[in-house]
Amino acid sequence: MFDVLELTSEAAVDIEIDGNALRVPAHFTVAAALLANGQMTCRTSAVSGAPRGPFCMMGVCFECLVEVDGVPNVQACMTRVAAGMRVRSMHGKARLA
């Protein structure tokens, strides 16, 4: 969906976001991959259920929390994509370990 960079096999990784397979630049964060592919929200508020998404892109606001490879409450803007990564949107509050 995006034309941010021309992808080559050396410069891209395959990840999964909410069950959708994507090929993204290897230097992207999870938040950048979400936004570049048109996904503006990544979680819902635990209080009101309102949609939330990447906002500050520097790890301050915690609006971009997602589940990565089964680990909840991961900041999408601070997490670089990795080959085979599975990202899931979070709904409400997550259980803490």
**Tally of domains within the chain:** 1
Provide the pLDDT confidence category of residue 10 given band limits of 50, 70 and 90.
Answer: low
Report yes or no on 1 lying in a domain.
Answer: no
Residue 58 neighbours by CB distance under 10 Å: 9
The answer to whether position 2 is within a domain reads no
Task: Tell me which residue range forms the domain holding 47.
Answer: 12-90
d(CA 64, CA 1): 21
Q: pTM to 2 decimals?
A: 0.85
DSSP 8-state symbol, 78: G
Structural domain includes residue 4: no
Residue 97 within a domain: no
Domain of residue 84, CATH code? 3.10.20.440
Amino acid 86 reads R
Give me the percent of the chain exceeding a pLDDT of 70: 86
